[in-house]
Structure 1
Amino acid sequence: MKLEAPKRQRNAEALLGIGVFGTSLALFVVRFLVPRPIAMSNNGDGARVLCGAGITWHGGPEPFVHLAYTAAPGAAPCRPTYLLTQSWLADLAVRISGLIGFPATLSLVVLGLLSSVVAAAAIAAIVLGLPCRRRARLVVAAGLLLVVADSAFFGYFAAVLGEGAAFLGLLLVAGGLLLTAREDRWSHVGMAVTFAGGVLAVNAKVQTLIILPILALAVLLVRPGTLRGARRWVAPVLVIGALGAVTLYAQQSVEPAVAPDGTLAARPGDDSREINMFNSIFLNIVDGRHDTQADLADLGLPPSFAQYAGNGWWHPHPATMDPLYPRFRDRVSRRNVVTYFATHPGRTLEVLNRAATDQLAARPGYLGSFDQDAGFPPHAQEHRVPVVSWLTGLISPLGLFALVPIWLFVLVRAWTQRRGALGVVLAFLLAVSLTQFGTAALGDGIEGIKHQSVALFTILLALVLCSSPLNRRPEPTVP
Structure 2
Amino acid sequence: MSVVDTKMKQKPKWTVFLRFATPAVLASAGVLAITILALFVPPYIGMADNGDYFRILYSNGLYFNAPDYDSQYLGHFVKSYGIFQYFNENGATLSSSQSMFIRLSMWINQLFSPSVFDIRIQAALFTLLYTGAVYLLIEGLTWKLKAMQGYIIAVIAIFIFGDTAYTAFFNSFFSESIVLTMMIYLFAAVLLLYRNRFNDYVLIGIFLISGLILTTSKQQNAPVGVIIAVMSILLFFVRRQRPFRVLVASSLVCVFAAGIATYALIPQEFVNINKYHAMTRGVMLQSEDPEAALESFGIDKQFSVLNKSIYYEPFTTIDVDSEILQNHFYTQYGFGKIVAFYATHPEQAGKMLDLAAKNAFTIRPPAMGNYEQSAGKAFGAQTNFFSVYSDVKQALAPKTFGFIVIWMIVVIGLYLPSFISAWRNKNIREMLRLPQMLCMIAMGLSGILVSIIGAGDADLSKHEFLFTLAFDIVTFAVVADAIQGSLWNNMSVQKSQTISHSA
Tell me, in whole angstroms, the C-alpha distance in 2 between the residues paired with 1:184 and 1:201: 23
Match of 2:91 in 1: 79
Aligned equivalents of 1:224 and 1:335: distance in 2? 35
CA distance in 2, matches of 1:323, 1:188: 54
CA contact (8 A) 1:63 1:368 kept: yes
Matching residue's letter, 2:95: L
Identify the residue that residue 117 of structure 1 maps to in structure 2.
128
1:460 to 472, 478, 494: 472
Q: Give the structure 1 partner of residue 454 of structure 2.
A: 443
Alpha-carbon separation, structure 2, partners of 1:220 and 1:468:
25
Name 2:140's counterpart in structure 1: 129
* Match among 150, 161, 164 for residue 163 of structure 2: 150
Could you say what the CA RMSD is over the residues aligned between the two structures, in angstroms?
Answer: 3.1
Q: Which residue of 2 aligns with 1:197?
A: 210
User: What code does the residue aligned with 1:30 have?
Assistant: L
The answer as to whether partners of 2:215 and 2:225 remain within 8 angstroms in 1 is: yes
Query: Following the alignment from structure 1 to structure 2, what is the Cα–Cα distance between the partners of residues 309 and 242?
Result: 41
Distance change >3 Å, CA 56–CA 184, structure 1 → 2: same
2:233 paired residue number: 220
Instruction: Show the counterpart of 1:255.
Output: none
Summarize deviations over 1:440-478 as a string: whole Å, max 9, x none. Answer: 1221021011101121111111100011231523769xx
In structure 2, the partner of 1:335 is 336
For structure 2, which runs of at least 5 residues remain unmatched after alignment?
1-14, 423-429, 496-503
- Which shows bigger deviation, 60-69 or 352-361? 60-69
> Secondary structure in 2 aligned to 1:181?
helix
Matched AA of 1:39: G
2:423 counterpart of 1:424: no
Match of 2:501 in 1: none
1:354-374 deviation line (CA, Å, top 9, x unaligned): 001011244322111111111
The answer to whether structure 1 residue 139 and structure 2 residue 152 are counterparts is: yes
- The structural deviation recorded for 1:302 is 1.6
Map of 1:261-410 to 2, 5 A cutoff?
267-287=265-285, 290-315=288-313, 316-320=315-319, 324-325=324-325, 326-395=327-396, 398-410=399-411
The number of residue pairs the alignment matches comes to 451
For residues 409-431 of structure 1, the C-alpha deviation after alignment (integer angstroms, 9 at most, x for no partner) is: 22223424434333332222111
Q: 1:104 to 1:95 in 2, by over 3 A?
A: farther
Alignment equivalent of 1:37, drawn from 44, 60, 64: 44
Alpha-carbon shift at residue 195 of structure 1 (Å): 1.9
The Cα shift of 1:274 comes to 1.8
Q: Percent identity?
A: 18
- Supply the distance in 2 between the matched residues of 1:52 and 1:404 (Cα, whole angstroms): 41
Structure 1: 5+ residue stretches without partners: 1-7, 253-265
The letter of the residue matching 1:300 is G
Cα distance in 2 for residues equivalent to 1:246 and 1:281: 28
Q: Is the 8 A contact 1:94 1:104 kept in 2?
A: no
* Higher deviation after alignment, 423-432 or 140-149: 140-149
Match of 2:190 among 167, 170, 177: 177
Say which SS state the counterpart of residue 248 (structure 2) adopts.
helix
181-190 vs 110-119, greater mean Cα deviation: 181-190
The answer as to 2:38 corresponding to 1:26 is: no
Deviations 1:327-355 (A, max 9, x none): 34312422332222121111011011100
Residue number in structure 2 paired with 1:108: 119
User: 1:188 aligns to what SS in structure 2?
Assistant: helix
What is the DSSP-based 3-state SS (H/G/I as helix, E as strand, rest coil) of the residue aligned with 1:299? Answer: coil
1:91 aligned partner: 103
Q: CA 1:219–1:342 in 2, change beyond 3 Å: closer, same or farther?
A: closer
Cα drift, residue 93 of structure 1: 1.5
Structure 1 distance, partners of 2:26, 2:408, is 32
Match of 2:80 in 1: 68
Whole-Å Cα distance in 1 between the matches of residues 266 and 97 of structure 2?
Answer: 13
Distance 1:104 1:268, change over 3 A: farther
Q: 1:407 to 1:395 in 2, by over 3 A?
A: farther
334-343 or 143-152: which moved more? 143-152
Q: What SS does the aligned partner of 2:392 have?
A: helix
TM-score under structure 2 normalisation? 0.81
Which stretch of structure 1 is more off in the superposition, 109-118 or 47-56?
A: 47-56
Match for 1:103: what amino acid? P
Structure 1 position 277, deviation (Å): 1.2
Aligned partner of 1:262 in structure 2 is: none
Q: Deviations over 1:168-218 (max 9, x none)?
A: 110110111122335485222211221221122111110112111222234
Q: Secondary structure at the match of 1:310?
A: coil
Helix, strand or coil for the counterpart of 1:398? coil
Question: CA 1:374/1:435 → structure 2, altered by over 3 Å: closer, same or farther?
Answer: same
Shift of 1:318: 4.6
SS of the residue corresponding to residue 165 of structure 2 reads: coil
How far did 1:62 drift?
Answer: 4.3
Of residues 64-73 and 283-292 in structure 1, the stretch that sits farther from structure 2 once superposed is: 283-292
Contact residue 21 and residue 120 of structure 1 kept, 8 A: yes
* Partner AA of 1:429 in structure 2: M
Letter in 1 for 2:78: H
